[in-house]
A and B are shown apart, each in its own frame.
Chain A
Amino acid sequence: MSLISLQAVSKNYRLGNIEVPALRGVNLNIERGEFAALWGPSGSGKSSLLNLIGLVDMPSAGSVWLDDHDTAGLDDDQRAELRNHAIGFVFQGFNLIPVLSALENVMLPLTIRGVARKTAHAAATRRLAEVSLSDFAHHRPDQLSGGQRQRVAVARALVTDPLIVIADEPTANLDAKTGHQIIALMRDLNHRLKVTFLFSTHDPRLIDEVDRLIRLADGQIETVAEGVLQ
């Protein structure tokens, strides 16, 4: 059974009196350990799809299955708990909490879960070391470069040992070199830790890095290219 399974998923947004379809009958499976990318132009539905997989939004129709569980019947608290335990997020704008240090930001998902401070501290320290930011543990986000911030975000996404890390345009706010470094880092973590990564991009230079490229256009999956990297 796939880690993620989307069955006939549609998503419509309401703009005034008009219903605008963002996704139209999408069927998609994501397997464990995959390093996959959603690729497509702006407005193709990449972010909408990631939002549904990340359980931060609800489909208008169809169902989203995570680890053999239909997420449709979950209430808000159950969805929050599932996000905390099973999903890591990396955002385009880093989305670090400005008043917390890099270490505290990485500890945050565990703190929200209620994990003891000592345990959370140890896990966050280890994850920061994995993204080569041990020396910046006590720096606030405004004291870090864009690339360093995104590394902190990656460490934060991994600290709960999630089933999948979802990254929405993780390199969009970075220069090309740093963007490649972030993708390389994610790729390395995918290999070493066997964590599933699904990210969106419209940067054609990054598509060579992935196992599978899922092309979206007008809210539908256009093609799925398997084994791109190979």
Chain B
Amino acid sequence: MIAITLALRNLWKNRRRSLATLLAIAVGFAAINLFAGYIHNVYFGLRTSAIHGEGLGHLTVAKRGFFERGSLKPERYVFSPDELKRLDTLLRQQHGVQVISPRLSASGLVSNGKLSTIFIAEGESPDAANRIRPRVTAHLSADKPDAGLLSQGLADILGATPGSNLVTFTSTLAGQTNALDLEMLSAWNTGTAATNDKSLRLPLAYVQRLLDTEGASRVVVLFDDATDANAARAALAPKLAAAGFDVDIRTWTDLSNFYRQVKSMFDLIFLFLFSIVFIVVLMSIVNTLSMSVMERVREIGTLRALGMRRRGIVSIFAAEGAALGAMGCLLGVLATVVIGNGVNFAHITYTPPSSSNPVLLSVAVLPATLIGTLLLLSIVSMIAACWPARRAAHIEIVDALGHV
């Protein structure tokens, strides 16, 4: 108790210095939490974009080897209609399944009669596609089997508008040239510059006709939001293997290179930022308490002469460090909430690299991160205090009493 009393009163006595240290901790705390809140929203946006925008769902089931060699020998990795039916039955037994969507990809040329350009197409059933992408405004229509969606950049290149008639050219799985008429339903923005000028979304039956097959190369599964994709994969793999399927199951994070790259970049930046804040907090506390020890050598000597043990002296300065850390963090919580809400209220937008859309700069205030950072920085502050505190405790009493 005496340690806390002395710690708090000495902090108050040197309030200008204490305030400077508190501000250093608070700024560091707010920087960590604001950035954590920002990347949390970025990750959430990218996750939503990958699962629902790109339509990756939570899991993709394909024949083993498809992901490595499927583009070279696509005919080897196509599920037959019977296999698709059996897969559908097995997958629907899994808890939390919302949508099962067989997919077939194709690439080739698309032409408006005057101009031809390359396309990459994704064939899926209109109903499944619309349920996986509920927020996308451009939808496939079950009533129009020869109509598809063009990415905005591709539509611009071809000068196509809804209702425009186009032609798609490609090779069937057997290697024959094939062409089909295509009506443009509408355009959508893929969100990434790399794909926005060449993407098509088509009905599965259309792509099957284009490739002359009745099968599909993979099956995408969407679970409810609470489902952990890795856990679902772990549960599914033995069931499918037992049913005779030699398949490779990938989660959406496995398939979204962009998500993984962005996440690893932001995680690294966060680690860098956290390391800097960690060092700043550590040095601020060590510096403040070292000064405090220097100024209170006689006081330390007096306390020791009156019977305080070395660990009692350590506890005084450890309490001072912990109090500085805790108060700095509380100030940091306040700063995080105020600045975070200020940023969200300001509706600031920016266009990230390789994105074709401006996005909203938003910051999530994350209670778990706030509490975690508060505990961590308080402990760091206490540990930082230990070095000057131990030095104080080991000053010889005679030297301390004679200190001027």
Interface residues of A (CB under 8 A from B): 51, 54, 56-57, 76-77, 80-81, 83-85, 89, 91, 93, 95, 97-100, 104, 108-109, 111-113, 117, 156
- Shortest 6 CB-CB contacts between residues of A and residues of B: A84-B307, A99-B9, A56-B397, A95-B302, A83-B307, A57-B398
Task: Indicate if B383 sits at the interface (CB-CB under 8 A).
Answer: no
* CA distance in complex: A117, B2 (Å): 10
The verdict on A80 contacting B401 (CB below 8 Å), with A99-B9, A111-B2, A112-B2 known, is no
* CA distance in complex: A80, B6 (Å): 19
12 contacts between A and B (CB under 8 A): A76-B309, A80-B308, A85-B307, A89-B305, A95-B299, A98-B13, A99-B9, A99-B10, A99-B12, A104-B5, A108-B2, A112-B312
| In the complex, chain A residues whose CB is within 8 Å of the CB of B307 | 80-81, 83-85, 109, 112-113
* CA distance in complex: A151, B312 (Å): 26
Task: Indicate if B390 sits at the interface (CB-CB under 8 A).
Answer: no
Q: Are B401 and A56 in contact (CB under 8 A)?
A: yes
| In the complex, chain B residues whose CB is within 8 Å of the CB of A83 | 305-307
Chain A: interface secondary structure?
helix
| In the complex, chain B residues whose CB is within 8 Å of the CB of A111 | 1-2
* CA distance in complex: A99, B4 (Å): 12
Shortest C-beta distance, A111 to chain B (Å), equals 5
Q: Are B306 and A108 in contact (CB under 8 A)?
A: yes
Shortest C-beta distance, B396 to chain A (Å), equals 8
| In the complex, chain A residues whose CB is within 8 Å of the CB of B398 | 51, 56-57
* CA distance in complex: A95, B403 (Å): 11
Contact of A57 among B9, B312, B397 (CB under 8 A): B397
Task: Indicate if B304 sits at the interface (CB-CB under 8 A).
Answer: yes
Contact of A109 among B10, B306, B396 (CB under 8 A): B306
Name which of B13, B302, B309 has the most chain A CB atoms within 10 A of its CB. B302
Within 8 A of A (CB), among B363-404: 396-398, 401
* CA distance in complex: A107, B302 (Å): 14
Shortest C-beta distance, A98 to chain B (Å), equals 7
Minimal Cβ-Cβ distance residue in B for A94: B302
Chain B: interface secondary structure?
helix
Minimal Cβ-Cβ distance residue in A for B12: A99
The verdict on A112 contacting B306 (CB below 8 Å), with A93-B298, A95-B298, A99-B10 known, is yes
Q: Are A91 and B302 in contact (CB under 8 A)?
A: yes
* CA distance in complex: A56, B402 (Å): 12
A95-B305, A98-B299 known; 7 new pairs, CB 8 Å cut-off, are A57-B396, A57-B397, A80-B304, A85-B307, A95-B299, A100-B6, A104-B5
Interface residues of B (CB under 8 A from A): 1-2, 5-6, 9-10, 12-13, 298-299, 301-310, 312, 396-398, 401
* CA distance in complex: A124, B5 (Å): 18
| In the complex, chain A residues whose CB is within 8 Å of the CB of B304 | 56, 80
* CA distance in complex: A108, B397 (Å): 17
| In the complex, chain A residues whose CB is within 8 Å of the CB of B308 | 80, 84, 112
* CA distance in complex: A46, B319 (Å): 37
Minimal Cβ-Cβ distance residue in A for B6: A99
Minimal Cβ-Cβ distance residue in A for B404: A93
| In the complex, chain A residues whose CB is within 8 Å of the CB of B6 | 97, 99-100
Minimal Cβ-Cβ distance residue in B for A99: B9
| In the complex, chain B residues whose CB is within 8 Å of the CB of A91 | 302, 401
* CA distance in complex: A89, B304 (Å): 11
Q: Are B309 and A97 in contact (CB under 8 A)?
A: no
* CA distance in complex: A104, B5 (Å): 11
Shortest C-beta distance, A51 to chain B (Å), equals 5
* CA distance in complex: A56, B10 (Å): 25
Name which of A51, A56, A80, A104 has the most chain B CB atoms within 10 A of its CB. A80
Shortest C-beta distance, B27 to chain A (Å), equals 28
Name which of B2, B6, B305, B308 has the most chain A CB atoms within 10 A of its CB. B305
| In the complex, chain A residues whose CB is within 8 Å of the CB of B401 | 56, 91, 95
| In the complex, chain B residues whose CB is within 8 Å of the CB of A81 | 307, 309
| In the complex, chain A residues whose CB is within 8 Å of the CB of B299 | 95, 97-98
* CA distance in complex: A98, B9 (Å): 10
Shortest C-beta distance, B319 to chain A (Å), equals 13
* CA distance in complex: A111, B1 (Å): 9
The verdict on A77 contacting B309 (CB below 8 Å), with A108-B2, A111-B1, A112-B2 known, is yes
| In the complex, chain B residues whose CB is within 8 Å of the CB of A97 | 6, 299, 302-303
| In the complex, chain B residues whose CB is within 8 Å of the CB of A76 | 309-310
* CA distance in complex: A56, B309 (Å): 12
| In the complex, chain A residues whose CB is within 8 Å of the CB of B310 | 76-77, 80
* CA distance in complex: A112, B308 (Å): 6
* CA distance in complex: A85, B306 (Å): 9
Minimal Cβ-Cβ distance residue in B for A13: B398
| In the complex, chain B residues whose CB is within 8 Å of the CB of A57 | 396-398
* CA distance in complex: A113, B1 (Å): 12
Shortest C-beta distance, A53 to chain B (Å), equals 12
| In the complex, chain A residues whose CB is within 8 Å of the CB of B396 | 57
